[in-house]
Amino acid sequence: MSAPTLLRLARPRVINPLRSYLVRGYATELKPNLSYTKPTHPDSTASSHTPTQHIITDQSQYLLNTYVRPPILIKQGKGLILTDTLNRNYLDFTAGIAVTALGHSDEGINQIINQQSSKLSHASNIYWNEHAGELAKSLVENTKKFGGLGFTSGGNSSNDEAQAKVFFSNSGTEANEGALKFARAHGKATGGENKTGIVCFTNAFHGRSMGALSVTPNPKYQSPFAPLIPNVKVGKYNETSQKAVNELIDENTCGVILEPIQGEGGVEQGDIEFLKLVAKRAREVGAVLIYDEIQCGLFRSGTMWAHSSFPVEAHPDIITMAKPLSNGFPIGAIMVRSSVAETITPGMHGTTFGGQPLATAIGVHVLSRLSDPSFLSNLKETSEYLGDKMKRLPELFPSLIQEKLRGRGLIRGIGFKDTTKPSELVRLARERGVLLLTAGSDAVRFVPALTVSKEQIDQAMGVIESCLSIIVDGEKA
């Protein structure tokens, strides 16, 4: 026997833990879950269901054609389960686009809706109401407790500000629109009439109103509505060149807006050095730094704000929020540092529905549950469980899935090497009873309710592995 052969026999075999697991002491190759290869919820069945299609056809005559939708009609939901008109149950890993943090038709929320709507649902902002201030206080105090907006965890402030202020809107887009207005007002008040420039970043999504759309640099969204608002510059997300950042954010910049974790843009996380560099430069020139936490905030990332655990020098001056705050009932909010709030005076901004009693009563209830220690302990456990399950995907499907997994907490994403495949995975998963979302041009995102169980994660990931196997087999054919 040759020396090289002896060396090969003597060399211990190294087992990659991601590529195998132990069964009775033996290493077994990692294999995908193939339990869900057969479609159980085919779109074709819904397309041939006459009563459902009659409803869809009738509604199509009256609804403006702005959405491309599959031929299914959802009639009810409970927890993470949505049921269509054929009585087929879907596991919802979209949470209504990261909205229903406590799941669908939550009993506690239903009780609040019944109680408050029987008392008062709307009275206008001409008067005070019971719950708007209560929710604002809860947002500020929980931010002090968990960290964010210049406060370190435990309530210490980096700038000795004792307070922050909240403005309620109806949606995330309106929250961003208001934040941009506040940045402009603050810029002109502190730096003169020419301090009106706004900076945003590549792959951002901040909304579809004219101001929010102007800082959403995607031609697909912007082109039909151009020209948009002036004096907007676009920087490269995660650009860590000091020179590039200094040129981007200048003396005429009044506001900088970004997402610490991009949702629609592909579940990309902001690099800490990038965020610190942007924040430092913004403060050098007196620009307001806005963090859009509409999708990643309110505990979805595992902390109250995606930036809660960041160094305080990377904290913003304004946080915008919306999606989960009232678990699906329309609401948005802008929370600002006191130094910015001082420049906003009566009459500068307003809303008809924002801060109404019903929406804010629900918000108080939602935030109290999301911030509960036992809830957060369970959230941490299930988030780690999902993360561990996701680690299998690049190993199982190296020709299909990018090696780097995206996101944290329960805002997660997988990147594809072929940009035609994310929508294919979404379709295949839907036809096997799991609802997913694309993100950006190359990713699929997982944003289930924060109440998701390990069993539901197992089901979703099993369906995903089965569907990815189908895609790989199709490429080989």
Residue 22's pLDDT band (cuts 50, 70, 90) = very low
Pick from 23-32, 110-119, 290-299, 430-439: least confident: 23-32
Residue 20's pLDDT band (cuts 50, 70, 90) = very low
Residue 125 lies inside a defined structural domain of this protein: yes
| Interval 218-229 mean pLDDT | 96
Residue 259's pLDDT band (cuts 50, 70, 90) = very high
Tens of pLDDT, residues 327-360:
999 999 999 999 999 999 999 999 999 999 999 9
Residue 214 lies inside a defined structural domain of this protein: yes
Q: 236: closest CA among 289, 194, 277, 187? A: 277
Residue 153's pLDDT band (cuts 50, 70, 90) = confident
Do 140 and 158 fall into the same domain? yes
Tens of pLDDT, residues 409-442:
999 999 999 999 999 999 999 999 999 999 999 9
Phi-psi region of 435 (alpha: psi -120 to 50; beta: other; left: phi over 0): beta
Do 136 and 217 fall into the same domain? yes
- The domain containing residue 82 runs over which residues? 43-105+395-476
CATH number at residue 183: 3.40.640.10
Residue 475's pLDDT band (cuts 50, 70, 90) = confident
Count: domains in the chain: 2
Tens of pLDDT, residues 186-197:
999 999 999 999
| Interval 357-364 mean pLDDT | 98
Instruction: Give yes or no for residue 24 having a pLDDT over 80.
Output: no
What is the predicted pLDDT for the residue at 476? 79
Do 309 and 346 fall into the same domain? yes
Do 64 and 170 fall into the same domain? no
Residue 157's pLDDT band (cuts 50, 70, 90) = low
Residue 9 lies inside a defined structural domain of this protein: no
Residue 13 lies inside a defined structural domain of this protein: no
Tens of pLDDT, residues 158-182:
444 458 999 999 999 999 999 999 9
Do 101 and 128 fall into the same domain? no
Q: What percent of the chain is modeled with pLDDT above 70?
A: 92
Q: How far apart are CA 345 and CA 358, in angstroms?
A: 26
CATH number at residue 401: 3.90.1150.10
